[in-house]
C-alpha cells in the first residue's frame, strides 16, 4: 500500500471513529465533547425505568418521627418563631414561591408517654435531664394533664399542619409501679413490673388515651413497651425495661379490653423490637420470634383476637443495615414471616437513627449531617419499604441537641455551640440531610398510596441495588398520581428514561432532588431524560391514566 492510500485510509478511519463514538448505544470509543452535557455522557444507551401498576404490594400508612427527648424543652421556648420553624421543617406540606417544599410533611408523630423520672430529678438515676420524662399520674393516683407541656405543644403543631396520625409510646411503667422505683429496668431480662401491677399499668395507659381522645390531639395508636430485648439497667441512662413475649401478651390482654370498655378508639401496636431479627428468630429468654408468638393462633401468647389490637407488629432497623447482604436478607426473612401468619400481618419500622459504627463507613458520633448520612438513611428506608414491605417508617429523635447523627432537626445554643444544657430555653435551629432525604419519601408518598413494582433495566438483585441505584414506586389510584423515588449512591451521574406501563398525562415529571447542595429542589425532567445527580435522592411525581 502506497503512502497516499495509507493516508486516505487513516483519514477515513478517524471520520468513522468520530461518527460511531456519538451514536447512541455502547461504543468502544471514548465519548466526544459533543456527547458530554453537564458531565453526563448522553450518547450512551439509557437504562429504562420500568413501573408496573398492576404489581401491587403494601398500602403505605405513614412516615413519622418521635418527640423524644428535646421537645419537653424546645416546646416551651419563648420564641414562637423558632418553634414554628422546627414544626414547619418536620410537618409542613407548604412550598416556597419556587415550589420547593418548606418541610418534609410527616404523617405520624410519636408522643413519648413519660414514666416520672423527670419529677425524681437526680434521684432518678438518669444523669441526662433531657432523657427524664414527666408522668401524667401523681404518686397518689390522680392525674395532672398539664404535664408534658412542651411535648403537647408539638402534638398540636403537628395536627395543625395536617399530620394524620399520633402514636403514644411508653418506655417504662410509671415509677410508682416499677419493681425498683425507677424508670429504668433491673438490668436483667425481668419486666420491671410485678404481675399484680399489670392492671394498674393498663389502667394508666387507658386513662392517657381516654384523656387525649377528648382533645384536638387524640392518640390513634398506643405502644406500651419499647425494645424489650434490651435489659435497660441504670447504665443505659434512659427510661426503659426488658419484658418477655408473655409479659407483653399478658399486658395487652388487659389493655385492649380496657380501651374498649372505656370507649377509647386507640389501637394497640406491639413490638418495637430492638432489631428486625427479633421478629422471626427465637431467643432463649422468650424475647424473640415475636411474629409467631403473638400472631400465630396456636401460641399461648396469641393476641390477634384481643380487643383494640391492631394487626401490626413493629421493629427497629438498628444493627442490621450493613453489609448490604444483611440489610436485604434480614428484611426478606421478616417479610416472609409476616406473610405466613393467620392473617397477613402488617410490618411497621418504628425507630431508626444513625447509631454506632456502620461497618466502619459512618458513625453516630460525632454529629454529621452531610449527604453521606442522608443517603444511608434513604438506603435503609428503601429496603424497609421495598424488601421488608413495611407500611410505616418512623424516625427516632425529631429534634436533637447532641453531638450525634441521629437527628432530623438540630438545635445548638444561641451562640452556636453544641451544649444541650444551654439549649433548654433558646437556641439556633438547623436542618440535616437526614431530614431532607427522609422527605424525599414522606413529603410525597402519602397515607393510602400503594407500592407497585419498579425496576431499573434488567437489574433485579436488591443487594446489588443497595450499593448502586435503588428505585421504588407508589400510586394514588384515586388521584391517579405516580411517585417514584430513586436513590443513587454512586459517585457518578446517570441518565435514565421512563418506560413504565403507566400512561402519563404529559411527557415530563416534576422532580425533587436532595444532594450535597440541594434540599428537595424542584425542577422538571423529561420522561426520556431523567438525570440522576451523583450521590442523590430524586423523587419524580406525575399524573397518569390507564
- Terminal-residue alpha carbon distance, the chain: 64
Residue at a domain's end among 389, 415, 447: 447
One domain for residues 169 and 143? yes
One domain for residues 298 and 232? yes
At 209 the pLDDT is: 98
Q: Given 3-state DSSP classes, what are the helix, strand and coil percentages for the chain, each rounded to the nearest 5?
A: 30, 25, 45
pLDDT at 116 exceeding the cut of 50: yes
Residue 389, domain member (yes or no):
yes
Domain ranges, residue 344: 61-447
pLDDT at 32 exceeding the cut of 50: no
Residue at a domain's end among 447, 476, 499: 447
475-532: per-residue pLDDT in tens?
999 999 999 999 999 999 999 999 877 789 999 999 999 999 999 999 999 999 999 9
Q: What is the mean pLDDT of residues 409-423?
A: 97
Residue 9, domain member (yes or no):
no
Residue 74, domain member (yes or no):
yes
C-alpha cell at position 353: 437513627
Quick one: pLDDT band at residue 44, thresholds 50, 70, 90?
Answer: low
Q: What is the C-alpha to C-alpha distance for residues 291 and 273, in angstroms, rounded to an integer?
A: 11
Q: 182: which DSSP letter?
A: S
Q: Among all chains, which residue has been given the C-alpha cell 444511608?
A: 376
Please state the separation of Cα 431 from the chain's center in Å.
16
One domain for residues 199 and 91? yes
- The region that residue 22 occupies, defined by phi over 0 for left and psi between -120 and 50 for alpha, beta otherwise, is alpha
pLDDT at 23 exceeding the cut of 50: no
One domain for residues 302 and 443? yes
Rounded to whole angstroms, what are the CA distances from 270 to 200, 308, 310, 316, 378? 19, 11, 8, 12, 25
Q: What is the C-alpha to C-alpha distance for residues 379 and 358, in angstroms, rounded to an integer?
A: 13
Quick one: pLDDT band at residue 64, thresholds 50, 70, 90?
Answer: very high
pLDDT at 34 exceeding the cut of 60: no
pLDDT at 41 exceeding the cut of 90: no
DSSP string, 517-536: S-SSEEEEEETT-EEE-SSE
Residue 127, domain member (yes or no):
yes
Q: What is the C-alpha to C-alpha distance for residues 373 and 453, in angstroms, rounded to an integer?
A: 27
333-386: per-residue pLDDT in tens?
999 999 998 788 999 999 999 999 999 999 999 999 999 999 999 999 999 999
Q: What is the CATH number of the domain that holds 357?
A: 3.20.20.80
One domain for residues 461 and 349? no
One domain for residues 442 and 464? no
CA neighbor of 173 nearest in space, from 190, 198, 195: 198
Q: Is 319 exposed, middle or buried (0-12, 13-18, 19+ CB in 10 A)?
A: middle
156-171: per-residue pLDDT in tens?
999 999 999 999 999 9
Q: Which residues pair with 66 in a beta bridge?
A: 110, 397
pLDDT at 460 exceeding the cut of 60: yes
What percentage of residues in the chain have a pLDDT greater than 70? 92
At 21 the pLDDT is: 36
C-alpha cell at position 230: 434490651
211-246: per-residue pLDDT in tens?
999 999 999 999 999 999 999 999 989 999 999 999
Q: What angle do CA 81, 84, 89 make, to 5 degrees?
A: 130
SS3 at position 206: helix
CB-based contacts of 269: which residues, under 8 Å, 6+ apart? 167, 221, 222, 223, 310, 312, 313, 314, 348, 350
Residue 456, domain member (yes or no):
yes
Q: What is the CATH number of the domain that holds 495?
A: 2.60.40.1180
Q: What is the C-alpha to C-alpha distance for residues 294 and 308, in angstroms, rounded to an integer?
A: 14
One domain for residues 511 and 403? no
Q: What is the C-alpha to C-alpha distance for residues 489 and 397, in angstroms, rounded to an integer?
A: 24
One domain for residues 483 and 417? no
Q: What is the C-alpha to C-alpha distance for residues 290 and 304, in angstroms, rounded to an integer?
A: 12
One domain for residues 292 and 358? yes
Q: Which residues pair with 268 in a beta bridge?
A: 222, 309
Q: What is the pTM of this model?
A: 0.92
One domain for residues 214 and 122? yes
Residue 426, domain member (yes or no):
yes
At 42 the pLDDT is: 52
Residue at a domain's end among 447, 472, 499: 447
Tell me if 540 sits within 8 A of 522, measured CB to CB: no
C-alpha cell at position 171: 418506655
1-15: per-residue pLDDT in tens?
443 434 433 433 333
Rounded to whole angstroms, what are the CA distances from 465 to 98, 187, 221, 224? 33, 40, 34, 36
User: How many domains are contained in the chain?
Assistant: 2
245-297: per-residue pLDDT in tens?
999 999 999 999 999 999 999 999 999 999 999 999 999 999 999 999 999 99
Residue 16, domain member (yes or no):
no
Residue 27, domain member (yes or no):
no
Q: What is the mean pLDDT of residues 105-114?
A: 98
One domain for residues 250 and 381? yes
One domain for residues 256 and 140? yes
Please provide the average confidence, as pLDDT, over all residues in the chain.
Answer: 92
CB-based contacts of 392: which residues, under 8 Å, 6+ apart? 60, 61, 62, 63, 64, 108, 314, 348, 349, 350
Q: Is 26 exposed, middle or buried (0-12, 13-18, 19+ CB in 10 A)?
A: exposed
Q: What angle do CA 285, 291, 297 make, to 5 degrees?
A: 105
Amino acid at each position: 500500500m502506497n503512502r497516499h492510500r495509507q493516508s486516505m485510509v487513516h483519514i477515513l478511519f478517524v471520520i468513522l471513529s468520530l461518527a460511531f463514538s456519538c451514536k447512541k448505544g455502547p461504543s468502544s470509543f471514548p465519548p466526544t465533547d459533543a456527547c458530554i452535557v453537564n458531565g453526563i455522557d448522553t450518547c450512551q444507551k439509557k437504562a429504562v425505568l420500568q413501573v408496573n401498576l398492576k404489581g401491587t404490594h403494601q398500602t403505605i400508612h405513614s412516615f413519622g418521627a418521635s418527640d423524644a427527648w428535646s421537645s419537653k424543652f424546645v416546646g416551651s421556648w419563648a420564641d414562637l418563631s423558632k418553634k414554628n420553624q422546627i414544626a414547619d421543617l418536620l410537618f409542613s406540606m407548604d412550598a416556597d414561591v419556587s415550589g420547593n417544599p418548606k418541610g418534609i410533611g410527616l404523617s405520624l408523630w410519636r408522643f413519648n408517654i413519660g414514666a416520672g423520672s423527670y419529677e425524681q430529678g437526680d434521684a432518678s438515676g438518669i444523669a441526662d435531664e433531657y432523657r427524664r420524662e414527666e408522668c401524667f399520674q401523681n404518686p397518689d393516683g390522680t392525674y395532672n394533664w398539664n404535664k408534658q407541656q412542651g411535648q403537647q405543644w408539638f402534638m398540636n403543631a403537628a395536627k395543625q399542619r395536617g399530620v394524620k396520625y399520633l402514636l403514644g409510646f411508653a418506655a417504662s411503667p410509671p415509677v410508682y409501679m416499677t419493681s425498683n422505683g425507677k424508670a429504668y429496668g433491673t438490668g436483667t431480662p425481668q419486666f420491671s413490673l410485678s404481675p399484680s401491677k399489670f392492671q394498674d399499668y393498663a389502667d394508666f395507659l387507658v386513662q392517657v388515651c381516654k384523656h387525649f381522645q377528648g382533645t384536638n390531639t387524640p392518640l390513634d395508636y398506643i405502644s406500651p413497651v419499647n425494645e424489650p430485648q434490651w435489659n435497660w439497667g441504670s447504665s443505659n441512662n434512659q427510661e426503659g425495661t426488658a419484658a418477655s413475649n408473655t409479659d407483653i401478651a399478658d399486658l395487652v390482654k388487659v389493655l385492649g379490653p380496657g380501651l374498649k370498655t372505656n370507649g377509647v378508639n386507640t389501637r394497640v401496636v406491639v413490638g418495637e423490637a430492638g432489631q428486625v431479627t427479633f421478629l422471626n428468630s427465637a431467643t432463649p429468654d422468650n424475647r424473640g420470634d415475636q411474629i409467631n408468638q403473638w400472631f400465630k393462633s396456636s401460641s399461648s401468647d396469641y393476641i390477634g383476637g384481643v380487643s383494640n389490637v391492631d394487626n401490626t407488629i413493629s421493629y427497629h432497623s438498628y444493627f442490621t443495615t450493613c453489609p448490604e447482604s444483611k440489610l436485604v436478607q434480614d428484611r426478606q426473612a421478616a417479610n416472609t414471616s409476616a406473610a405466613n401468619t393467620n392473617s397477613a400481618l402488617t410490618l411497621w419500622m418504628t425507630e431508626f437513627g444513625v447509631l454506632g459504627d456502620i461497618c466502619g463507613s459512618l458513625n453516630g458520633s460525632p454529629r454529621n449531617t452531610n449527604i453521606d448520612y442522608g443517603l444511608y438513611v434513604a438506603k435503609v428506608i428503601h429496603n424497609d419499604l421495598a424488601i421488608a414491605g413495611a407500611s410505616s417508617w418512623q424516625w427516632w429523635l425529631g429534634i436533637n441537641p447532641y453531638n450525634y447523627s441521629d437527628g432530623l432537626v438540630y438545635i445548638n445554643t444561641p451562640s452556636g455551640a453544641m451544649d444541650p444544657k444551654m439549649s433548654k430555653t433558646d437556641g439556633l435551629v438547623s436542618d440535616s440531610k437526614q431530614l431532607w432525604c427522609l422527605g424525599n419519601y414522606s413529603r410525597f408518598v402519602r397515607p393510602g398510596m400503594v407500592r407497585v413494582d419498579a425496576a431499573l433495566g434488567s437489574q433485579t438483585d436488591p443487594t446489588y441495588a443497595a450499593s448502586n441505584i435503588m428505585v421504588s414506586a407508589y400510586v394514588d389510584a384515586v388521584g391517579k398520581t405516580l411517585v417514584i423515588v430513586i436513590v443513587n449512591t454512586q459517585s457518578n451521574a446517570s441518565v435514565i428514561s421512563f418506560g413504565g406501563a403507566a400512561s402519563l398525562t404529559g411527557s415530563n415529571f416534576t422532580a425533587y432532588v436532595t444532594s450535597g447542595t440541594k434540599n428537595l429542589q424542584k425542577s422538571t425532567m423529561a420522561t426520556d431524560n431523567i438525570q440522576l445527580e451523583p450521590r442523590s435522592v430524586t423523587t419524580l411525581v406525575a399524573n397518569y391514566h390507564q
